[in-house]
Amino acid sequence: MPTLEALNNHYATDSITFQTGKGGLSKCSISHPSATAELYLNGGHLTHFQPRGHRPVLWMSSESNFEAGKPIRGGIPICWPWFGQADQEDRPQHGFARNRTWTVTQSEETSDHVTLELSLESNDETKLIWPHSFELTLRFKIGKQLSIELETKNTSKDSFKVGTAIHTYFNVANASEIELSGLDQVNYIDQLENNVCKQQQGKITINKEIDRVYVDSGHQVSIVDRAMNRVLKVTKSGSQSTVVWNPWISKATRMADFPDDGYKTMVCVETANAFSDVREIAPGDNHLIMQTICVE
């Protein structure tokens, strides 16, 4: 892995610097006229995004691990090449992309935004977990709004299937007072009730644990947070499934890296390829999934 000096020599700009973060992990700090942000190379994990004049958009766990090879709790983890539990017990939940160190490949700054590009490629270690050759490219465009692209290229000789989630934890004033709109009449799989399929009626509100995968859904989702006087709008492409999650009281207390009261100020709305939306990629082909967040 390149040293911080090498990263700064190659990729630093007026707004981008590479530093030692929590747990001794390498991070990229962004302070641009339009926004501030923080990105850890462990997991290619964005832990902070705040447009100027607004409160932080992302929720972070005060109990999160910051240790090489372990997932960070909060922010935007990248779930790949599967979402949820693996089909084998010795495989990590949500895949291994969020546990690997990504490589910086490009940076750019304009008057409106900064762009960072990271990559992750298959090697002997990843093939012990998942026996396929691949190239991943992760692009962040950070300005008044945030855009994230994850591109999967199949460099194997055979097709493979991938599940993905841009697993965004949003910071809210009070989860029990927000409303999520944009998914009315959309079917969802309720993961708390043996994956039974239901249909959403009206706006989504949260007063208990929620863990749903909305299917056949390319819709924009809006998080209406009146206490913060803002609406967070999530648009996407390359995705027909949307995950909505809040662990509520009981599950929050069971997660070691999650504060007991953390459920009160977060909600996950995830751009995903899950369940029937898992994508099969032929040799030499690519799949691009993208999410954009704007604050109004």
Sign of the Cα torsion 124, 129, 132, 137 reads negative
What's the number of CA atoms in the CB half-sphere (13 Å) around residue 19?
Answer: 12
What's the number of CA atoms in the CB half-sphere (13 Å) around residue 175?
Answer: 24
* Dihedral pair phi/psi, residue 238, rounded to 5°: 70, 15
What are the catalytic residues? 167, 270
Q: Is 43 exposed, middle or buried (0-12, 13-18, 19+ CB in 10 A)?
A: buried
Structure tokens at 101: 């160190």
Q: Taking Cα atoms as reference points, which of 228, 277, 254 lies closest to residue 79?
A: 277
Length of the chain: 296
How far does the chain reach from its first CA to its final CA, in angstroms?
39
Q: Is 125 exposed, middle or buried (0-12, 13-18, 19+ CB in 10 A)?
A: exposed
